[in-house]
Structure formats: structure tokens, C-alpha cells
Structure 1
């Protein structure tokens, strides 16, 4: 992989590493929790072990799914910035399939490097965490196995999904024509000819939400209902991502009206919706992050409420409170890992997006915009992206989190449907964190781009 390409894929390598570390750490922690459960005299220890195993599978699937989405989004952004270069190679005789194979090979290298780094980091973190927990008398001294063959599973899955994500994300290469090498590197409006994709997105959303309803109902009978919910969540969210260029622009347009009527504000509002594909790629990473954090927070609070209800119905048991406390602490840490995956993705995508707009920013400078005005425009766009992602992500997170907890533990809580427990401090904290990440990821590259003179920026590929 060339140096420039490696720089482009820095965030993708980090996402792959975090996904692999998440999976390895998850398997290690579940093993430790299962061993600890066996050491307690809990009346329903077998049920709890089964629940832990199901939760482990669900979290691992979510980690891989999120990593795949973020990586696909990153590759799509990278390809969008390479349009003129790819078109020039096409003009010189290279085929679209050959260029796509180059991108796919880059994805394979990214997956191998990232997954190996992440596996090593996840194992070290698990070993250190267990030793600290033992020293703090939080868990007993047990014979923990750190190098089981099952740990190869996250490595293989992350490598495969990263390669597949690069292949899917590089489909844009097939649409690049040699003539684009002679034109400006401005992203085109890709809404034309998307009827099939939009129909697919709508179908996935409808089917996914139907499965989520089925998960809640089946969860009243068996904890395996959460697996139906997992499939429904992935299917529906995939549909939302496919149709993001239809979902996000109306929200961005509404928020853009709140920026005011000043020229810079109006330009920022127009830029946010001018290229729906670009807006969707920029915001979807942040939507993922907000959805994840809110979903896990709601799921964890609902999980505690449902377990408490179950204990009250079936009678308390020695050691249950300790297990519940440790489980909440452990999965709270794993939630942070998921949020970090998405945060890295949005930071990398925004940074690349602004970096690739040097020609556009140079044109604004040539038309008389000051550096301060351009920076204000970029910040206003980032504010729109943040607010839109927080609104959409919070709504999705509350719903997905409630479905997850309800479908997992509804059968043990007296077959009751419990309203979602929403820790409102979490969405507020997420909004503030998202604002900081978005501004840092966009304003920094914009400042760097503005150091280039307007003439030099306009000459940049």
C-alpha cells in the first residue's frame, strides 16, 4: 500500500483494530464472567450463563456490523476523493475492474493489519483488567485461559468484513468515466437512477421493523427472541443507511433554517443538502455513534429494571447483586468500545471530506470569502450534521435499546412489556461529545486547507 493510500486508510485500520479488540475482549470477559457465575450459588445460574452467552454473541455481531458500516463509509469517502485520479488512470487505459481490485487489496491489507493489532490489544486489556479486578477482590482468583482457538474468530471476521466493506465501498469506481479526468473534481448529484436502491432500502426498513416487533413478542416466551431482534435491527439499520441520502437531507434542511439568513449561514445550509450522497456519508458515522451509545444506555437501564423485576418475582438469590454489578460495569466498558469505533469513523470521514474539498474552499476564497467566513461556514455545516445525527440517532437508539432488553428478558420478568428506561443524561452527554468530535474533525482540516492560496487550491486534484 502506497504512503498516500496508507494515510487515507489510517481511520480504517483503527476501526478494524477496535472491532477486533472488541471481539477478543468480549470473548475473554464472557469467559471470566461465566467462570464467576459457576462459583456462585445462584438459583438460575444456567439461565444467567445462557443469557450471558446470548449477549456476547449479540455484542460481537454488533461490533462487526458497526465496523463494517464505518469501514464501508470510509472507503466510499476515499473513493469519492480519488475520482479524478481514477478517471485519469481510466483515460490511460486502466479498466474499472482493475482499479476496484486495487481498492479491494487495500481493504484486505487494512483488515489483516488492524485485526492483528486489535487482537493483541484486546487480550492485553482483558488480562490487565482481570488482574486489577482480582487485586480489588471484585472477582475471585481463577484459572483463566487467554489463548483459546475461539479468539481467531474475531480476527477472521474483521479481516473478511473489512475486505468485503472495501469491495462494497469501491463500487463507485465502476461509475467513474475517463472524461471525468478532464473536468473539475466536484462530486456529482447521484440521486438519478436510484429507484432500485431506494426501493431496497424501504423494503429492508419495513422487514426489519416487523422483525423487531416479532422479537418483542417472542421475547415474552424465550430469551432467544433477542436473536430475532438482532437480525431485525441489522436489517432495518441497513435500510436506513441505504436510504440515508433520502432520510438526512430533510432533517438537515429543517435545521439549516435555524442558522439564520446571513450569507455564510445560508451557504452552509445549502452545502449540507446540495450533495445528498456526501451529506449521508458525513452524517451516518455520527448517527451510528449516537445510536450505539443511546441504545446501550437504554438497554442497560432496561436490563437492570427487568432483572430486578425477575428477582422480585422469583425470589432473591445469594450473589445475584454481585453478578449484576459486575455485568453492568463490564458491558459499560464494552459500550465505550462500540462508541469509540463509531467516533473514529466519523472523525476520519469528516477529516477526509473536508480535506477533499480544498478546491471548493479555494473557489470560495477566490470569490472573496475571508478565511474567517470559510471557517465559520464549515463550523455551521458541522453543527447541522451534529444536530441532525443526534436527533436521528437518539430516536433510533431508544427504540433499539428497549427492543434488545425487552426481547432478552421479557420472559423472565413475568412476561410483561416494560416501558423503555431512558437515562436522559446520556443523550445530552452524547450531543456535547458529538459536537466536540465533529468540530475537531472538520475545523482542523479546514484550517489546514485554508493555508493554501486560492490559486494553489484550485489547481489541486
Structure 2
């Protein structure tokens, strides 16, 4: 029987090619994912391991430069890292070299005034020369380090991007006004952020402290150990000498390296998991193709298998022979898939490198897991897919050797299948609806489990659904294509199981694609509405890094010509009846020109009376309404939990609720006037400034604001449409990435359609010969096969789109509590596009089978046994 299985594999090479290709693609995706993530992870670990090679202990003040205010933190000179702290640590017996480090956001503009690189990777640091006049952290490739205010040094990559050389004037900015500086040096560094495309600007220590922190303050202190002193011993010495304050963190160089490695490992692990999920989807789609292929092969070999039974082969031997075939095909295809996967991993590495030239790189890492797990997955999937066809083959009676053709499914088996499918699909849909009705994250588990059950149940029911659904397009096919169209419809419903198995592959892909699209549109619409619906201003002015705007910049914006009203949108955090809440502030005199919150009671005029506005959620939670009073106090040192109290908190008194508004993402749960906030917190954070122009959101006003801020590269002046486009860009990028990953499963589904049609043509050789003999020309045969493919593809796609929209609706139901104003938006244009693309897929997939069918010899086909 083993020799028989081997002979069958070799005898049907053409029929099994598409199946082997599907297995190979799925396995290649798994192997490529593992190779790419292992390579990238190792390269990033190697890169980051250089960061702490000369550090024994690092003391970090994570509150430095964070935008936290002195009034809230009650910060004293003794509770921060300064020169005195550096001297204390340097005097310790185990300390060798001690250095104060300043680090924070600093952006660099090019010659056109535009930001170089991304704002979130733009950093500044202090250049701290030793007795030799050099800072060993930053070796100068050209020029010298900065020595006084107005001088800077840039990393080589940033200087090249900006087209700068030593002696040029370079414009830089943090959260304050932009500054013109002189470039005194260009340095090299192994800093991983710079290697990944970030910018690094060096200033003298005093200038760096003034720009990024406060004068005399350091963000961290690095210490190297004397020979014979361990990192742990030095850590103990330093901890005992640290000033008061609970926001310092002390770590050894090894701890820092380990944490960095763990962070990289976790991030690459998450990426690997996501990629493997899509690889699993491709393999899942492949299951339908493999099972369909073996089912059709067994149907075509009914006589052969029956003769084996007649000459003495047992059911077990027949089953084993089919499984051995699957094992051989799976092994060969999976090994080829691993080889292709290594190429995919290298290609993904090259693609990422081309998109980000600074991304760490290194030699390909081909782990034993990639060489063993990927082919094992391919083989197991193939064998499991062949189990049911193998069992079906073993049940072929010896008497079937006397007749040929497919053995039709009994009515009993179809009835049992439909009952099981109805129960599973109904239960799954009920779970989905139940989870969606919760309106919270608690419904995500039932929605996910129910969606999986519904998908499986609908797969089981696809044969039942295929007849009525395809029958609906019967008149259209007959009207457009005449006899070939009618024959295509009949062929599509002739074997419902085969049609269902072929369509199921596309159903999976379209379910996921349409669900992602509806989710993207829904979330995008909700975020857009939440952020911009309450904005009446023409422009929102903020920093590219989303850091605070300095008072100087706020004043510059207010003086821009063409402005009719402007107000900083401040933010603070206070206690209201003992509960900490975020507070937004706006100028009471211009609120109606800049904001239009949806008021459910009261009005914005209450702000001018010293009253507060609260969101509907706060009003419900605290049982507040217009006229209610609340006790208010600022937060004190250590009181950042939102529970009230804390050392140094200041009682403000009672405030009256003057209105309730619908929650939105632009405003905090509590809205007050800036004047009232300034009385108790004059240094409140300012992330945005809202601006209204005399003539609306004109380009002239936008440029006027930019000019007023001295063309600061950090300042962004956005209209409501700009804000929408920014959010849509993020969602579009995520969706395109998902579409790209799903493309593999769609490709596997296309192979399934081609495979099914090709084998179907072989199976219907006699029928096609008879059609040719009675007058159907070659063009008619081609149209028949193509239309059959299009009908099957559209059937699978339609079911997938409907199911995807339903799943997206259910998922939206579980997100309502976390995304305000979320409603299900179906982009009908995209749904129709997906269906059109599915029809095109069917048309393309049918090209080779249709051409093959049209070239069959009439007499040879008629006499086919």
C-alpha cells in the first residue's frame, strides 16, 4: 500500500501541484515570520547592548522634564538631581567617574525650516567634557563640542539630512521659542535611537538644562565603578546617599541592559505573534484547499480504490494509503516552504531597512525552531486535512468498482450536516449578539468565541446556502451569457460540498477584510467626531511632540495678525469631592467662539461666573446637576492617585456646577475658565492653543501664526480637516498593513479556486466533449468555466462580507464604553469594491482551467472512462 501511495503521488503531479503550493506558501509565511522576527530582535539587542557598556550604576529622575509642575509636586531643591548630588556620588569610595546627564526633547530644522526626522525621536543632551576637553560619549568627527550658549553639535546622520556643515547656523527648538545656533561640531555615536533614524543635538550643560529641564537640574547621573567594586556594592553606596524624594530610580548597568533586552524581546514577540496569526489564517485557508483536493481525487479514483478493496485491501490500508500521500506531499511542500521562508525573512529585513535606513541590522538568524516548527506545522495541517477524505475513501464498497463517477452524499448525511451547522451557527450568532449587548469589554470574550463558532457553523452550512444564493443570479447569467451562463450556474450547484469548500477559502479572507474595514471606519468616525465635533476654532496650535507650549510661545500666537479670538487650552489635575479628575481650562470670554460642546443642561456662560462644567459621565458618577456644589483642592506631593489628600494639597473651596456636556476626547471631564485655574496653578500645562480668525481658516492666517512663532519647526497649525487626516492616516496605515498580511491568505484562496476548477475540468471531460459535439464552441466552454468561477467566488465573498460586517458591529458594541460616540459605519463603496475584486479573482483564477477545457479533444473526451 505504501508503494501504491507513492505511485499515486507521482502519477498525479499536476493535480497536486496547487495543493503543494498552498502548503508551501503557508509554511513559508510561518518560517519567514520566525526568521525575520529573530533576526530583527537579535540586531536590536546587539544595538541596545552598547548603550550601558560603560555604566555601572545609573540614577534617573523620571519626573525631570516631564511637564509636572512645581506647585503640584512640592518639589524642593533637595529632591532633584543637581551638581551637589553629582559631587556626593563622586565622593563615594566605589565611584570612579560620575557624570550628570541632561536629556529631553530637542528638534532640529532643515534649511527650509521643516523638522528633520520624527518629533518623537528628536532628542537633546548635554556635552560634558572631561579634563581633556572632550566628552568620550560623543567623539567628534568634525569640529569641536559646544562650549557656551548658542553653540550645538549634531550627529552625523542629522547633519547630512539637513545639509549642514561646521559653522552653519542651525535652528533648534524644544517647547519654547525657536533659537538660532552655530554648529561647532559633528559627532559619531552608537546610540541606538540615532541609529534608528532619530536626531541628537548636543548643547553645553547650562544651555541644555535651561532648554530641557530647569537650571542646575540633571535628568540622570551615570557612574562607573572603581576596579574591585561590584555594581551591586556601588548601587548600595549610591542609594544611601540619594536626596529625599520617591521619584528616583537606581539601576545597575546589567539591570539596564537586561530591561532593554526584555523590552526588545517583548516587542518583537508581539510582532511575531501578530505575523504568526496571519500565517495561521493562511494555513487555515489551506486546509479547505487540501481537503477539497483529496476529496476530489478520491471521487475520481473511486474505481481504483474499490478494486483495491476487491483484491483484499482493508479499510485501514486504504485510509493509510491516502494519509501517506498527504504525508509525502506535506513533507515535500513544507521543506520547500522553509527554504522559501528564509528568503521571505531576508526580503522582509531588506524592506524594513529600505523604509528606515537607520534600523539595526545583522546577519540572518535561522533558529532550530524555524527549521523544525514550520515544516512540522505544514505536515500536520496537511495530514489532518486529509483525514476525512481518507475515512471516506475507506468506506467505498468493492462493488463500486463495477461503476464510475462520484459517489453522491446521502440525504441523511446532508441532513445531519445541516442540523449541526444550524446549531453551531445559531449558537455562535447568539453569543456574538449577547457579547455586543453588554456594551463593555466584558463582551469581548463571548464575541470572539461566538464569531469563531458562527464562522465554523456557516462553513458547515455553505452547501445548503449555495443553491438558493446562486439560484438568484441564474436569470442574470442566462440573460448575459446564454447557454454558457446557464451551464455555469448548473455546474456551480451540481456539487454543493465542493462549491462550499472552494468558496469557504474566500469567505475567510473577506470576513476578516470587511470586518477590519468596518471597524476602521467606525473607530475613525468616532475619534474624528470626538476630537473635532466640539472644536469651533479655525486652527489648533500644538507641538509636533505633544509636549507643553511655553508661555512665550502662547503669547507669540496671541499676537499673530488676523486673529479674532484665541485661548490656550490648559490642563491640570485637581480633587473634586475627594476624587482626582483631569481639568481643561479655556478663556471664558472666548469660549463660545472657540468651542461648541454639546450641552445637556446649563450653558458655557457659567464659566464667566466662576462655575464649572462637567461631562455627563462625571455628573452621573458623582450625582451632579446644574446648581450642585463640589469641594475642590489641588493635589499635593505624592497625591497622584486620584484619591484626594496628599502632603501640601491646597483647599480651593466650593465650586458650583454650571452645566453638563456630552463627553468628548478634546476636553477633560471638568471644564473651567483659565482665570480660575491660574489663581491656584499659574503654571498649568498647555498642550493646545485654539485660534479663530477674522476671515476663517485661511492659508494667510495659518502662515501668520507660523510667522508669529518665528517659523518654529516644532509648532503645528492644524485645521479640523488636518486633524481628521492625521487620525485617518494612522487608521489607514494600520488597515493597509493588515490587508498586506491578509493578502497571503487571499492568494492561497485563489490557488484553491484554480485547483478546484482544474480538477473539475478533468472530472467533466466527457461532459465537455459532449457539449463540444452538440455545437458549443471553444469560446462558449471558456465562458462557462469562467462564469462558474466568478459565481463561486462572489458567493464566498458575499457570505464573507455579510459575516464581517456583523462581527464588526458586535466588536463595536464591546468598545462603546471606551470610545465615546462609537457607531457602526459601513463603507458601502469599499464593500462593493471587495465584491468586485472577488469577481476579478474568480475570473483570473479561471483563465488556465478555462483554456485547458477549451482545448480538450472532442473524441478523446467522449470516450473517457
TM-score bin (small chain): 0.7 to 0.9
Counterpart residue number, 2:503: 283
> 1:429-440 counterparts in 2 under 5 A?
429-440=833-844
Shift of 1:296: 4.2
- Structure 1 portions without partners, runs of 5+: none
Residue 243 of structure 1 aligns to a residue in which SS?
helix
> 1:397-416 counterparts in 2 under 5 A?
397-401=804-808, 403=810, 410=815, 414=818
Matched, 1:442 2:661: no
CA RMSD across the alignment? 4.2
Contact 2:294-2:386 within 8 A present in 1 as well: yes
Q: 1:226 to 1:13 in 2, by over 3 A?
A: farther
Residue number among 376, 379, 400 corresponding to 2:786 in the alignment: 379
Q: How many residues align structurally? A: 450
Distance in 2, Cα, partners of 1:377 & 1:239: 31
Counterpart residue number, 1:158: 378
Q: TM-score, normalised by structure 1?
A: 0.80
Counterpart residue number, 2:575: none
Counterpart residue number, 1:232: 450
Counterpart residue number, 1:244: 462
Distance in 2, Cα, partners of 1:219 & 1:113: 49
Residue 67 of structure 1 aligns to a residue in which SS?
helix
Q: Which moved more, 1:14-23 or 1:143-152?
A: 143-152
Q: 1:136 to 1:448 in 2, by over 3 A?
A: closer
Distance in 2, Cα, partners of 1:29 & 1:403: 34
Please list the CA deviations of residues 295-348 of structure 1 after superposition, one character each: whole Å capped at 9, or x if unmatched: 4444555576788879957999x9x99997875554332121121122222221
Q: 1:121 to 1:268 in 2, by over 3 A?
A: closer
Shift of 1:27: 4.6
Counterpart residue number, 2:308: 89
Please list the CA deviations of residues 252-282 of structure 1 after superposition, one character each: whole Å capped at 9, or x if unmatched: 1111122236444434333332332233234
> 1:321-332 counterparts in 2 under 5 A?
330-332=737-739
Higher relative CO (Cα under 8 Å, sequence separation at least 6) belongs to 1
Distance in 1, Cα, partners of 2:758 & 2:666: 52
Counterpart residue number, 1:185: 405
Please list the CA deviations of residues 174-231 of structure 1 after superposition, one character each: whole Å capped at 9, or x if unmatched: 3423333332425635444332222221122123223434555689337xx7665554
> 1:444-459 counterparts in 2 under 5 A?
444-459=848-863
Residue 441 of structure 2 aligns to a residue in which SS?
coil
Shift of 1:165: 0.4
Counterpart residue number, 2:421: 201
Contact 1:22-1:334 within 8 A present in 2 as well: no
Distance in 2, Cα, partners of 1:6 & 1:227: 44
Q: TM-score, normalised by structure 2?
A: 0.45
Counterpart residue number, 1:102: 321
Q: Which moved more, 1:328-337 or 1:4-13?
A: 328-337
Shift of 1:143: 6.5
Residue 401 of structure 2 aligns to a residue in which SS?
helix
Shift of 1:96: 3.6
Distance in 2, Cα, partners of 1:380 & 1:9: 24
Q: 1:439 to 1:64 in 2, by over 3 A?
A: closer
More strand by share: 2
Shift of 1:421: 4.9
Contact 2:766-2:862 within 8 A present in 1 as well: yes
Distance in 2, Cα, partners of 1:420 & 1:149: 45
Counterpart residue number, 2:471: 253
Residue 242 of structure 1 aligns to a residue in which SS?
helix
Residue number among 212, 221, 225 corresponding to 2:441 in the alignment: 221
More helix by share: 1
Shift of 1:422: 4.4
Contact 1:286-1:389 within 8 A present in 2 as well: yes
Contact 2:288-2:501 within 8 A present in 1 as well: no
Counterpart residue number, 2:162: none
Shift of 1:353: 1.7
Contact 1:189-1:275 within 8 A present in 2 as well: no
Matched, 1:9 2:16: yes
Residue 273 of structure 1 aligns to a residue in which SS?
helix
> 1:50-61 counterparts in 2 under 5 A?
55-56=274-275, 58-61=277-280
Distance in 2, Cα, partners of 1:208 & 1:327: 28
Distance in 2, Cα, partners of 1:449 & 1:458: 13
Counterpart residue number, 1:396: 803
Distance in 1, Cα, partners of 2:31 & 2:401: 44
Q: 1:200 to 1:455 in 2, by over 3 A?
A: same
Contact 1:371-1:450 within 8 A present in 2 as well: yes
Please list the CA deviations of residues 120-172 of structure 1 after superposition, one character each: whole Å capped at 9, or x if unmatched: 32333233322332343276326687334553444333321211001123333
- Structure 2 portions without partners, runs of 5+: 1-5, 49-119, 122-262, 532-545, 547-664, 669-686, 688-713, 715-725
Matched, 1:65 2:284: yes
Shift of 1:250: 0.7
Q: 1:272 to 1:67 in 2, by over 3 A?
A: closer
